[in-house]
């Protein structure tokens, strides 16, 4: 998306922004149930269709490909990075996850949120006063996944793999 390109440009210029730092999940477009027909991409998108939870990464690392094509963590610098996110046991339960996005830059939560997890989407005084994300940052990439129903205590792990 366009804001992902802006984030990349700011990083390349050496401006004081952080790279990919957060993953958001949401229930998005309820009509999306067929994996062969995802919603049309929108390069102007700046957020998820309906963000429900967001979490800060727990690990960022360089990756390299082994002889069988698997990506492995490495201490050496490569052109591939992995950004790892985990939504633990009780986080974001009871929602149907149809979309996720990776954000970077100046992501901020409302003042009362002091942990890595924020619920309820982007705060707005009138339209979403319970949202815990104060500033969403730059949306780097968004993906749609069909009807992943997270009803009860399960863990979701997402890894953003970026090859430059």
CA-to-CA distance for 104 and 118, rounded, in angstroms?
15
pLDDT digits (tens, 9 = 90+) for 120-137: 999 999 999 999 999 999
Q: Do residues 52 and 26 lie in contact, with contact meaning Cβ atoms separated by under 8 Å?
A: yes
Predicted TM-score of the model (pTM): 0.88
Backbone angles phi, psi at 8, to 5 degrees: -60, -45
Backbone angles phi, psi at 138, to 5 degrees: -95, 125
* Positions of the chain with pLDDT lower than 50, given as ranges: none
pLDDT at 121: 95
Pairing of strands 117-119, 51-56: antiparallel
pLDDT at 151: 64
């Amino acid at each position: 998306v366009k804001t992902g390109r802006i984030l990349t440009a700011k990083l390349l210029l050496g401006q004081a922004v952080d790279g990919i730092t957060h993953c958001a999940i949401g229930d998005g477009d309820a009509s999306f149930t067929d994996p062969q027909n995802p919603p049309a991409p929108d390069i102007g998108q700046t957020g998820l269709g309906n963000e429900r939870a967001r979490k800060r990464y727990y690990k960022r690392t360089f990756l390299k490909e082994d002889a069988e094509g698997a990506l492995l963590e490495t201490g050496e610098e490569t052109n591939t990075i992995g950004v790892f996110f985990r939504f633990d046991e009780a986080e974001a339960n009871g929602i149907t996850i149809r979309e996720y996005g990776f954000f970077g830059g100046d992501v901020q939560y409302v003042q009362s949120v002091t942990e890595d997890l924020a619920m309820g989407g982007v705060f707005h005084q009138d339209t979403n006063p319970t949202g815990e994300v104060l500033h969403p940052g730059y949306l780097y990439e968004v993906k749609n996944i069909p009807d992943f129903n997270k009803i009860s205590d399960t863990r979701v792990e997402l890894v953003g793999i970026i090859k430059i």
